[in-house]
Structure 1
């Protein structure tokens, strides 16, 4: 597996090259930390063709069968976008916001962030063992260890759920983690500038009205970790 990112013209970063991440291991670390992906797919045909971007949970397996490892997405088999996602290349974007950068001019306002883009042809996961592993990875991305505590999925549930896999080979990542970058004249003017840090914080687990007993260890541990 290549240890560098941007192996193709489609994912090669052309603007803001100083923010490009070139170490693939940093991408892997980021995938383990983030929670939400957005899937970009073209639906419709002819003059009616148009892009749709859908938020979704995800999981990933660096040892998956696809080149560079596999990122897994799931959805309803009845979803209109599903067939289209298999006909053309798709784009998956994962972003975490880390801060609001208040500069001395509107032009230089920015955000601190980490963002990854993966482009490729998705495939429908049909092997039963891979499907179950993929669904477990999606659940455990939200709450590590959760899948092992749940009852097995029913045939009806599995029949209603589609799992897509996308190779991680064609990917890029950018990040910004700095203060404002202002023009010297604006700095001399004495206007305040700085960063509002943004951290993802979780509250204590809220037990469902129809649940019994305290929140399990995996849930409590996850909530505590997100609040750290």
Structure 2
């Protein structure tokens, strides 16, 4: 995968074998899923045990970034190690005429590679600024300045988007032809994540305004 418009050949790890017609290997699809959902799950081995940890992710160009406590298990176990990062978006419940044809409409992406640490303090601050401002535009400059100890205690890892695949399903149920005459309701129950009105902290200073989140959306 060399650019957001080029399709990449699947690897042995990313080749979709089940429901192959839902598979996508192009960067445009994969990037769109990563950009739409900030919650990711990182799978890795720790002391011989499989672990999956949820975290926040964000993408810049050909890399996905996530952060955590520098002394935390995930950050210590994954730096320089092989990881699997997944992002999933649930778009609807698909109710069919047979229980065995129930499904979900969804968008999901799976990435493999070695996690690389960001060690330069200035780059860490830039990336953390990007994370905060991704939720609330220009919010970083309004916050209490980060301390050196806070920056040191925070680790940022990244994964280059080289080995990745996506699966996307949409549309109505796919029933057996003989089941379409069965008299039961079938269809899709749409599911959407929505951003509600800001709920202020009761200890806010008088007169402070909520950030403008009118353009922020998830999914």
Q: Deviations over 1:40-88 (max 9, x none)?
A: 11111xxxx21111111112110xxxxxx11111111121232221253
Q: Deviations over 1:177-209 (max 9, x none)?
A: 111000011112222111100011122100001
SS in 2 for 1:118: strand
Matched, 1:43 2:46: yes
Shift of 1:97: 0.6
Superposition RMSD on alpha carbons, in Å? 2.0
Shift of 1:154: 1.0
SS in 2 for 1:191: coil
1:184 corresponds in structure 2 to 177
Shift of 1:6: 4.8
Are the structure 2 counterparts of residues 214 and 104 from structure 1 closer, same or farther at C-alpha, using a change threshold of 3 Å? Answer: farther
Tell me the TM-score normalised to structure 1 length: 0.86
Q: Does the 8 Å CA contact 1:35/1:141 hold for their aligned counterparts?
A: no
Give the whole-Å Cα distance in 2 for the aligned partners of 1:125 and 1:106.
47
Across the two proteins, how many residue pairs are aligned to each other?
Answer: 215
> Per residue, is there more strand in 1 or in 2?
2
Q: Which one of the candidate residues 64, 87, 93 is aligned to 1:94?
A: 87
Q: Does the 8 Å CA contact 2:39/2:87 hold for their aligned counterparts?
A: yes
> Per residue, is there more helix in 1 or in 2?
1
Question: Which has the larger displacement, 78-87 or 113-122?
Answer: 78-87
Q: Deviations over 1:80-123 (max 9, x none)?
A: 23222125300110111100001111111110011011110001
Matched, 1:54 2:57: no
Question: Which has the larger displacement, 79-88 or 178-187?
Answer: 79-88
Are the structure 2 counterparts of residues 40 and 151 from structure 1 closer, same or farther at C-alpha, using a change threshold of 3 Å? Answer: same
2:123 corresponds in structure 1 to 130
Give the whole-Å Cα distance in 2 for the aligned partners of 1:156 and 1:14.
47
2:148 corresponds in structure 1 to 155
Q: Does the 8 Å CA contact 2:137/2:211 hold for their aligned counterparts?
A: no
Q: Does the 8 Å CA contact 1:35/1:142 hold for their aligned counterparts?
A: no
Matched, 1:226 2:208: no
Q: Which segments of 5 or more consecutive residues in structure 1 lack a partner in the other structure?
A: 63-68
Q: Does the 8 Å CA contact 2:10/2:25 hold for their aligned counterparts?
A: no
2:188 corresponds in structure 1 to 195
Q: Deviations over 1:17-53 (max 9, x none)?
A: 2111233112222222112111111111xxxx21111
Give the whole-Å Cα distance in 2 for the aligned partners of 1:153 and 1:59.
20
Matched, 1:216 2:202: no
Runs of 4 or more consecutive aligned structure 1 residues displaced over 6 Å after TM superposition: none
Q: Which segments of 5 or more consecutive residues in structure 2 lack a partner in the other structure?
A: none
